[in-house]
Structure 1
Amino acid sequence: MQQPLQNIKVLDLSRVYAAPAGSMILGDLGAEVIRIEHPDGLDSMRDWGPFINGQSTYYLCANRNKRSITLDLKTEEGKKRLKTLIKDADVLIENFKTGDMKRMGLHYEELKKINPRLIHCAVTGFGQTGPLAHEPGFDPVIQAMSGLMDVTGQPDGEPTKVGVPIADILTSLYVVIGVLSALRMRDITGEGQFIDLSLLDVQVSSLANVASAYINTGFISKRLGNLHNNVAPYQVFQCADGPLMICAGTNEQFRKLCKLLGREEWLEDERFLTNALRKEHEADLSRMIQEITITKTRDEWIALLREYKIPCGKVHTIAEALEQPQVKARNLIGELEHPQYGKIKFIKNPLQFSGLNIQYKLAPPLLGEHSGEYLEQPLNTNQP
């Protein structure tokens, strides 16, 4: 079965999560992804637990559909081997600190002499320019510096990071968007290009309505826990058996909610006539709704809310989320046979096409597992 990137070769020199997760998506779409690591296995993600049969589950989540070879890029032989691979590669992805590739003589201006069609995607914490360009960037630091943590958490609590490495995850998507766009541009111009992708840029650009509110009006959003900055009622309410998210984001949904709760008089209450007024008097409204939701179980409320077409959902644990019928119906959990660690499970790529099936052909590779396949040919010692 044909895949959209089946003739694209990607050299992946990256480590940890953001860039490797991006190259994994390219692999899911059919690209040949060659993961290039140091012979000593310096990717710290291989060392982060929990483990299955000695293999890091963290590493497993970002490295399927790839092959692995080892090169020491600080040696002349390692550089020459890489340059040989560059000749027929389409994409190079790396997340070395700004300036490291240049110090090794492997920066874009040098590599495009070997292959003018090469697309070089460099992922860094802060980008190739600016006062912090040479500083390392890690997801929690980016969450802090971007302002995301300041609007996350309870109003009377400390700034809180998101429970997954969200800056890394969002950046991995921009790796794919950037590479696909550059490949399309190459179809037009015949030339490759350099992509400068910064975790901080990605996370700041993802502040969405919070950033828009500030740069246009000076409004500074606050930590609101499970409340919404601009909409009410739009939050978690406690039921008899646990928490339930209810989102009445429009006037029509609020009207239906009042009817469902048996409180149609709220529709005439001057405090609640518009969303702006409901937000202004949110504390009163939330308390009044909470007094009612606590009287029934979540399943009882969900049945009623769905009947009235009001968005709602249980606050699941991770176990509950992955075991829920909707996730199973969408067949989101896959399984691959690993050559050393046996069967491993993974969360599938969420893309579902009408004309193709994403293929999961390769389990996350062992360090240097495919070196013989790619490095067995004699090295051209005359190559610069």
Structure 2
Amino acid sequence: MSKILDKLKVVELTTFVAAPTTGRMLADWGADVVKVEPLEGDFFRGYGKGLNVPADTGENPLFDMYNSGKKSLALNLKTEEGMAVLHDLLKDADVFITNNRTKALKKMGIDYDSLKQKHPRLIYATITGFGDKGPLADAPGFDTVAFWGSSGALVDLSIETGNSYPLNTPAAVGDVASGTNLFGAIMAALYARELNGKGDKVTVSLYGSAVWSMSFMNVIAQEKYGYKYPKKRYEVNPTAAPYRTKDNEWIMLTILDHDRYFPSLCEIIGRPELSRDPKFIDKIALLNMDNRKELMQILEDAFNKKDAHEWHLLLTQKDIVHDILKHFKDISTSEQAMANNYMSEFAFPNGQKAMLAKPSLQSDNLGEIENFRGPYLGEQSISVLDRLSYSKAKIEELLSKGIIKQ
């Protein structure tokens, strides 16, 4: 069965995670994605070594996860001949993806304004740190800074104590969010091209993804509304907070419809009278900080008397939204993740196996998404040039000059 995007040709000039995520998703849906890399390769190929994760041709889970199903062309773009190869690729391309900064793209002559006349049907897709305009338009930005650091999350979502410090930065979350956003923008641009025949420039930034992802918080924190961050433990809504259980696990409780579910919660903790107490009777009463603290202390004491699994059964019976807080390592054995094909076992060339995540966008016509090994550096250099009708002699010349690498 042919895949939805099986006639789409994509050229990807990307590094690290954000923009490669977009290319991986396009490849999942059937696109022919050529990853153009410098002769030394994408720096991210070796990134796992700093985390005690294999990062070589035998086993490279982090690189494979974001580069599944692509072809690799190792190309020296510091030469005129290398740039000529890239332009030949772009003549035949539907989509060009890059996370290079605008200044560098202009220097190479492959910024949008330089290409749109030559390739009027090309969808030009970029991921930047902070957006195309403003004082930070050409600033460098990884997701630790442009997504997490600039969003407010690291400082304001920490728990305020005597020795508080910002949360440790979760890795690549903003990258994956931004890459997924760009996938959607490309799909919309391709649809528009079907209607009007014109290409387009679509762009996403890590900072923009952060502003949108944190939009709930950045609205209520405005001075006119006055919601203050960070919060101390007893300042948060006690019916939407985590509680430690007898076996030292945590239950995340989330009751948003107070009138409907709070009486059930009071019943299962053996305190039905609390649902009629004026201090806790509705969400307005719980805006009072003293009331919040009192109810949270009651719930802390109650949850500490049973194991997490016991609480899970009781809360499930009452249809109260909750979960036992998971560790990252728990996801690789999650029945729910595997049942929905969000993760699956992957066998590396060296025979080792690991559970790898997949993009969660799905389609009945597409079928089940698979994880494939990311390409070795320059693995398809010759076949890509052969597809462009380069002669065998020309390919040999480019290899001997160090313009391409196989």
**TM-score computed with the length of structure 1 as normaliser:** 0.91
CA distance in 1, matches of 2:167, 2:255: 26
Going from structure 1 to structure 2, the CA distance change for 1:187 and 1:77 (only over 3 Å counts) comes to same
Instruction: Kindly state the Cα deviation for residue 184 of structure 1 after the two structures are TM-superposed.
Output: 1.0
The yes-or-no answer on 1:235 pairing with 2:241 is: yes
Shifted more, 286-295 versus 103-112: the winner is 103-112
The yes-or-no answer on 1:268 pairing with 2:273 is: no
Q: 1:81 aligns with which of 77, 80, 85?
A: 85
* Partner residue, 1:51: 53
Shifted more, 251-260 versus 330-339: the winner is 330-339
How well do the aligned residues superpose, as a CA RMSD in angstroms? 2.4
Amino acid at match of 2:154: M
Q: In the TM superposition, what whole-angstrom CA distance separates every residue of 1:233-267 from its partner, at most 9, and x where no partner exists?
A: 11111111121111122121112111221212112
Going from structure 1 to structure 2, the CA distance change for 1:210 and 1:189 (only over 3 Å counts) comes to same
* Partner residue, 1:183: 190
SS of equivalent residue, structure 1 residue 173: helix
Going from structure 1 to structure 2, the CA distance change for 1:62 and 1:375 (only over 3 Å counts) comes to same
Instruction: Kindly state the Cα deviation for residue 24 of structure 1 after the two structures are TM-superposed.
Output: 0.7
Going from structure 1 to structure 2, the CA distance change for 1:319 and 1:166 (only over 3 Å counts) comes to closer
SS of equivalent residue, structure 2 residue 66: coil
Instruction: Kindly state the Cα deviation for residue 215 of structure 1 after the two structures are TM-superposed.
Output: 4.4
Instruction: Kindly state the Cα deviation for residue 319 of structure 1 after the two structures are TM-superposed.
Output: 2.6
Shifted more, 41-50 versus 298-307: the winner is 41-50
Listed as ranges, the matches of 1:196-275 within 5 Å are 196-215=203-222, 217-224=224-231, 231-241=237-247, 242-251=249-258, 252-275=260-283
CA distance in 2, matches of 1:321, 1:99: 40
CA distance in 1, matches of 2:74, 2:190: 26
Listed as ranges, the matches of 1:153-192 within 5 Å are 153-156=158-161, 157-192=164-199
Is there any run of 5+ residues in structure 2 with no aligned partner, and where?
396-406
Decide whether the 8 Å contact of 2:342 with 2:357 is kept in 1. yes
Decide whether the 8 Å contact of 2:10 with 2:93 is kept in 1. yes
CA distance in 2, matches of 1:34, 1:199: 23
Instruction: Kindly state the Cα deviation for residue 120 of structure 1 after the two structures are TM-superposed.
Output: 0.7
Going from structure 1 to structure 2, the CA distance change for 1:332 and 1:210 (only over 3 Å counts) comes to closer
Q: 1:373 aligns with which of 365, 383, 392?
A: 383
Amino acid at match of 1:256: S
* Partner residue, 1:109: 113
Decide whether the 8 Å contact of 1:248 with 1:311 is kept in 2. yes
CA distance in 2, matches of 1:362, 1:290: 46
Identity over aligned pairs, percent? 27
Listed as ranges, the matches of 1:1-384 within 5 Å are 1-49=1-49, 50-52=52-54, 54=56, 55-142=59-146, 143-156=148-161, 157-215=164-222, 217-224=224-231, 231-241=237-247, 242-251=249-258, 252-280=260-288, 281-336=291-346, 338=348, 345-360=355-370, 362-376=372-386, 377-378=390-391
**TM-score computed with the length of structure 2 as normaliser:** 0.87
Amino acid at match of 2:47: D
Going from structure 1 to structure 2, the CA distance change for 1:161 and 1:266 (only over 3 Å counts) comes to same
Amino acid at match of 2:384: Y
CA distance in 2, matches of 1:361, 1:238: 37
Going from structure 1 to structure 2, the CA distance change for 1:330 and 1:275 (only over 3 Å counts) comes to same
Going from structure 1 to structure 2, the CA distance change for 1:324 and 1:227 (only over 3 Å counts) comes to farther
CA distance in 2, matches of 1:136, 1:208: 23
